[in-house]
Chain A
């Protein structure tokens, strides 16, 4: 027989699900970034290790993408204020 969880437990489970969902969104972003940055940075045949250039390209790729995102948001905000 399936008893209902009490209120406190439901609240706890809801908080747990919110946390897991946030974590899943981060994971999904990591998949997207890895795919995008792999295409941008790894142009040759895969070897036994990354070159320094490839590794720093991956790091820069993620950071610059996020910079771009912040830049776009700021630009839209300033245009809204200017209008």
Chain B
């Protein structure tokens, strides 16, 4: 992929319509958004994997037992819930501090 701002040496051609420019701009924006969403999801998956493995699979045997799978499933749901609680609390705090001009 070339630089996201396009080649530095090329001259803006007056044949390219503003519609085309807008489309390229939107493409850059949506690819940035997608990359960030993907990184976010990957981080969440890695974290749940670590945390739930530590909690649920304390003595690894030749396969996952059904009780381990039940634990993993609940752990995953709880980790997502914890993420949402933390997210709500942090964004509420950020908004409050911004209002008071502290953080």
Contacts and interface: CB of A to CB of B under 8 A. Distances in A.
Interface residues of A, number: 42
Contacts of A3: 6, 10-13, 16, 21
Interface of B: 2, 4-8, 10-13, 16, 21, 24-25, 28-29, 32-33, 36, 39-40, 43-44, 47, 51-52, 55-56, 71, 74-75, 77-79, 81-83, 85-87, 89-91, 93-94, 97, 102-103
A13 B5 contact: yes
Interface in A9-30: 9-10, 12-13, 16-17, 20, 23-24, 26-30
Interface in A21-75: 23-24, 26-31, 33-35, 37-39, 41-42, 45-48, 50, 55, 58-59, 61-63, 66, 70
A2 B74 contact: no
A13 B25 contact: yes
A59 B47 contact: no
B21 A2 contact: no
A38 B8 CA distance: 47
A28 to B, nearest CB: 8
A37 to B, nearest CB: 6
Interface of A: 1-6, 9-10, 12-13, 16-17, 20, 23-24, 26-31, 33-35, 37-39, 41-42, 45-48, 50, 55, 58-59, 61-63, 66, 70
A9 B25 contact: yes
B10 A20 contact: no
Contacts of A1: 10, 13
Given A2-B7, A3-B16, A26-B90, A31 B47 contact: yes
